Amino acid sequence: MKKVEAIIKPSKLEAIKEAMVAADIPCMTISPVKGAGLQQGYTEVYRGRELKLNLLNKVKLEVVVSDENLDKLIDIIVENAHTGEHGDGKIFVYDVEDAIRIRTQERGPSAIR
């Protein structure tokens, strides 16, 4: 099992969610986050003062998948989040030692499905 964390633009979330459901990967956790990267933020004028804002709004998508679905999930995220410009995001992949479904006490890959 693998845990995939993707930091993406908020505008790309809906397309990724729809593609995941269509690919039979419906389970996910989504969190609003702020971050800085190569985009370098933007400048805004507030009350006559110029402010440099380098923490941009992003969305963190967390998904635990079986090893067989890992490449499918990564392809879905890349295809739907890619614009070719700075700020498209990052994907991180981690090993998951175990998963337990609390309701049924199932363990391992059956607990994530």
Task: Kindly report the number of other CB atoms within 10 A of residue 6's CB atom.
Answer: 26
Contacts 24+ apart (CB under 8 A), 45-51: none
For residue 47, the model assigns a pLDDT of 79
Q: How far is CA 38 from CA 2, 42, 83, 84, in A?
A: 27, 12, 14, 13
Share of the chain above pLDDT 70, in %: 95
Q: What is the pLDDT of residues 18-68, one digit of tens each?
A: 999 999 999 999 999 988 777 666 677 777 877 777 788 999 999 999 999
pTM for the full predicted model: 0.85
The second-level CATH assignment, the architecture, of 2-112 is 2-Layer Sandwich (3.30)
